[in-house]
Amino acid sequence: MSATVTHVAIDGGRVHVTSDAPLAAPATSAGRYVVDGVIREITTQGTGFFDVLVAAEGLAPTEDYQVRGGALRLGRTVHVDPATGSERVDTTAVWDAGDGSLALTTSDLDTEQVLALLDRLDLRPGPEGLAVLPAGGIGWHDAPQLVKELPGIGLLEVLPLSAEVSGSLPSWPGTPVAGGELYRDEVAPGVPFVVLVTETARVNVLPDDDGIEAATAGATELLVEWERAS
């Protein structure tokens, strides 16, 4: 029996996913912003993400602050090039507020610069998630996306439909299905995936261990709407 779940994307849009597959998995949204001529990627996800990074990736906590009604925690990760022995130190900042968090990883910004960047963004926490909107001279670099795992189908990469996104679609006709048009393409030779194009979104379906046929069958019944923020 089909059910529907709604996630808030980083641009404030509400992404509705309807499927027979289990929908309990969380979603992550990502946006790339142009900040003083430099492209910066920020992700949003549920709260507690800093602790996930500490446990899974060895992030070493360094500082924490109360900023703009939320908790900002910073940590460091040291990467060593096995060939040259050279080191790169990355700083990850995670800001928790409401029911969501944002994360930014950088190798060239210090704490003061990270705080200044957050001050320039329009941060909108809410009960369904967190939106991070450009402000203060910051702009979008390209379309935001939302990523969600559907067991038995695969990983969904959802982008809002636009002229730019439509221009990257396969050149051949798609197959009409319940949610729009369905295409089969390849990430690389011999690595197939499925593309579902709805009235409001492009959905790349990357198969899980059940394979391309299961992904295709699941995508045939999948409904996805990217409801833009008003």
Can you give the pTM of this predicted structure? Answer: 0.91
Q: Are residues 119 and 65 in the same domain?
A: yes
Residues in the chain, total: 230
> Which pLDDT band holds residue 85 (cuts at 50, 70, 90)?
confident
pLDDT value at residue 140 = 97
- Mean pLDDT across 188-212: 94
pLDDT at position 166: 79
Domain finish residue from 93, 114, 140: 140
* Burial of 77: CB neighbours in 10 Å, binned 0-12, 13-18, 19+: middle
- The proportion of the chain whose per-residue pLDDT surpasses 70, expressed as a percent, equals 100
Which H or E element spans position 136? none
The pLDDT score that the predictor gives to residue 184 is 92
Mark whether 92 and 126 lie in a shared domain: yes
Is residue 67 over pLDDT 90?
A: yes
pLDDT at 71 over 90: yes
- Condensed to tens digits (0 to 9), the pLDDT of residues 89-147 reads 999 999 999 889 999 999 999 999 999 999 999 999 988 889 999 999 999 999 999 99
Q: What percent of the chain has pLDDT over 90?
A: 82
Distance CA 68, CA 4 (A): 33
| Cβ neighbours for 47, distance < 8 A, ≥ 6 positions apart | 96, 98, 99, 100, 101
54 and 122 belong to one structural domain: yes
Domains identified in the chain, total number: 2
d(CA 10, CA 31): 7
On whether both 196 and 157 belong to a single domain, the answer is yes
Between vectors from CA 159 to CA 156 and to CA 162, what angle results, nearest 5°? 150
Give the residue numbers spanning the domain of 169: 3-25+145-227
Q: Do 37 and 13 have their domain in common? A: no
Residues 62-86 have a mean pLDDT of 93
Same domain assignment for residues 111 and 37: yes
pLDDT at position 42 over 90: yes
Statement to judge: residues 39 and 136 lie in one domain: yes
Task: Tell me the pLDDT band of 5, cut-offs 50, 70 and 90.
Answer: very high
User: Is residue 69 domain-shared with residue 97, that is, in the same domain?
Assistant: yes
Residues 203 and 150 in one domain: yes
pLDDT band with cut points at 50, 70 and 90 for residue 230 = confident
Q: Give the pLDDT band of residue 163 (cuts 50, 70, 90).
A: confident
Predicted pLDDT of residue 181: 95
121 and 165 fall within a common domain: no
Residue with tokens 């990523």: 147
What DSSP string describes 41-97? EEEEE-TTHHHHHHHHH--EEEEEEEETTEEEEEEEEEEE-TTT--EEEEEEEEEEE
**Among 140, 173, 195, where does a domain finish?**
140
Q: What is the mean pLDDT of the chain?
A: 94
| 54 and 127 fall within a common domain | yes
pLDDT at 188: 86
Confidence band of 199 (pLDDT split at 50, 70, 90): very high
Please check whether residues 93 and 191 belong to one and the same domain: no
Last residue of a domain, one of 109, 140, 171: 140
